[in-house]
Structure 1
Amino acid sequence: MSNLTTTTDSEVTQEISQANQPVLLYFWASWCGPCRLVSPAVEAVADECADQVKVLKMEVDPNPEAVKTYQVEGVPALRLIQNDQVQWSHEGAITKDKLKANIEQFLS
């Protein structure tokens, strides 16, 4: 079982505000080829870092409000949110190792 939580426009603010740890928000689309490459890396990070980071997955097409709020211009897109602030963002494909290295600098 993955520690990845699927979220929507109506839930994402509450999910983030109730988190006791940083939140990695992963924006994806079913039609996005690079998303299919990145999804396993995001799922692995969700499992390996479950005690340090909460990972939320959000499909862009049905959730335009969050896409606008987090200024997503392309998918896959990643936003690391801590204390209601985006601490790190990335758009495009990324390897699991690079993803982990980028978010670990914000984890305590």
Structure 2
Amino acid sequence: MTAKPTSSATWEQDVLQAEGPVLVDFWAEWCGPCRMVAPVLDEIQNENPDKLTILKLNVDENPDLAMKYQITSIPAMKVFNKGEVETTIIGAKPKFALQQDLAKYIG
């Protein structure tokens, strides 16, 4: 299972009204580190399907959301819970480091 895309059109339903925590991966097609972190996020999603939902947001296609959440460098990941940003992770990291950053949700 790979991370599902989200967009400005579905943001409210996908992220802000979601049950439980949602990690949004802010990425772009041209971003090499984004492509490196994507399979790691897919693994974490597959290992924790009931604990954390992982979505991808293309910043080139959704500049309004990138601006709203002050995304200045990618990859950037934000964990939303009950519509609020709880955790921000900047940059590509190895799986164990991401798991540590997300331990509160997937522990």
Residue aligned with 2:66, SS: helix
Measure how far apart 1:70 and its partner are: 1.6
Q: TM-score, normalised by structure 2?
A: 0.90
Comparing 3-12 with 51-60, which one deviates more in the overlay? 3-12
Residue aligned with 2:49, SS: coil
Measure how far apart 1:12 and its partner are: 1.3
Indicate the residue corresponding to 1:91 in structure 2: 90
Measure how far apart 1:21 and its partner are: 1.1
Indicate the residue corresponding to 1:68 in structure 2: 67
> 1:1-34 CA deviation, whole Å, 9 max, x = no partner?
x152111111112111332110000011111111
The answer as to 2:28 corresponding to 1:29 is: yes
Indicate the residue corresponding to 2:37 in structure 1: 38
Aligned residues: 107
Indicate the residue corresponding to 2:51 in structure 1: 52
> 1:22 touches 1:107 (CA, 8 Å); kept in 2?
no
Return 5+ residue gaps in structure 1 as ranges: none
| % identity of equivalent residues | 33
Q: TM-score, normalised by structure 1?
A: 0.90
Measure how far apart 1:62 and its partner are: 0.6
Return 5+ residue gaps in structure 2 as ranges: none
> 2:17 touches 2:82 (CA, 8 Å); kept in 1?
no
RMSD: 1.5
